[in-house]
């Protein structure tokens, strides 16, 4: 009887030991996914500037009717590691940039929105007061070495249509051109 228990106990002991060793062999592993790109431009766009969400908060219909526009909400695009030297031989150094904003538009050339709210659009302006139009490059700006912050603002503007209260959202893309 003792022998039977011993022979049953030994394989179980070896099975448990083998399981413990096998289980510990997989501890401490992981996976890292990476992505990036190499571009032929003088500046990189800071990661924090690539995808931004701006909360325009709650605006009473009466205020938009009275003032014709909502309060300004600032945002910026950060250019980093700018180098003006052209890497291709025979080409002039980089000197300027242009930003182009693109998105759905209203009938009054403002950026449109989706949702329940109606009778308004979104206006984007640069620090000099130039108003962005979808697909039309903004006036050129001078490139400088190092880092540069491009300041913009956006606000709701009435379209002279009947205002309807409700939630709204929009997506506006931007692209940088250098020359």
User: Dihedral through CA 58, CA 64, CA 67, CA 68, nearest 10?
Assistant: 130
Q: Are 97 and 141 in contact (CB under 8 A)?
A: yes
* Distance of alpha carbon 51 from alpha carbon 13, whole angstroms: 57
- Assigned domain for 84 exists: yes
Query: Is residue 159 pLDDT above 50, yes or no?
Result: yes
Beta bridge mates, 137:
100
Looking at residue 152, which CATH number applies to its domain? 2.60.40.1090
Q: How far apart are CA 99 and CA 88, in angstroms?
A: 23
Tens digits of residue pLDDT in 8-66: 444 444 454 555 555 555 677 777 887 776 767 899 999 999 999 998 888 888 888 89
Helical H segments across the chain, by residue range: 2-25, 47-50, 61-67
pLDDT score, position 26: 60
In-domain check, residue 154: yes
pLDDT tens-digit readout, 120-136: 999 999 999 999 999 99
By three-state DSSP, how is residue 33 classified? coil
Nearest of 149, 168, 146 to residue 157 by alpha carbon: 168
Question: Is 144 part of a structural domain of the chain?
Answer: yes
Q: Is residue 164 part of a domain?
A: yes
Q: How confident is the model at residue 6 (pLDDT cuts 50, 70, 90)?
A: very low
Q: What pLDDT, in 10s, does the model give residues 83-108?
A: 998 888 888 899 999 999 999 998 77
Within a domain: 9: no
Residue 106 structural domain? 44-178
**Domain-located, residue 20:** no
State how many domains the chain has. 1
Question: Has residue 18 been placed in a domain?
Answer: no
pLDDT of residue 90: 86
pTM: 0.75
d(CA 125, CA 74): 10
For residue 30, the model assigns a pLDDT of: 78
Among left, alpha and beta (phi > 0; psi -120 to 50; other), residue 5 is alpha
Flag whether pLDDT at 74 surpasses 80. yes
Model pLDDT, residue 124: 97
């Amino acid at each position: 009887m003792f022998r039977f228990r011993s022979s049953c106990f030994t394989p179980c002991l070896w099975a448990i030991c083998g399981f413990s060793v096998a289980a510990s062999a997989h501890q401490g592993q992981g996976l890292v996914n990476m992505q990036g790109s190499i571009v032929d431009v003088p500046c990189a766009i800071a990661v924090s500037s690539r995808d931004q969400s701006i909360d325009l908060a709650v605006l009473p219909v009466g205020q938009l009717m009275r003032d014709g526009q909502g309060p300004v909400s600032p945002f910026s695009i950060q250019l980093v590691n700018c180098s003006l030297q052209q890497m291709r031989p025979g080409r002039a150094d980089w000197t300027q940039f242009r930003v182009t904003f693109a998105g759905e538009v209203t009938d009054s050339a403002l950026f449109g929105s989706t949702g329940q709210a109606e009778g308004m659009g979104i206006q984007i302006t640069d620090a000099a007061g130039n108003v962005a139009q979808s697909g039309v490059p903004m006036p050129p700006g001078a490139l400088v070495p190092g880092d540069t912050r491009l300041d913009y603002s956006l606000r709701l503007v009435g379209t002279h249509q009947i205002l309807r209260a409700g939630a709204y959202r929009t997506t506006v893309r931007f692209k940088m051109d250098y020359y």
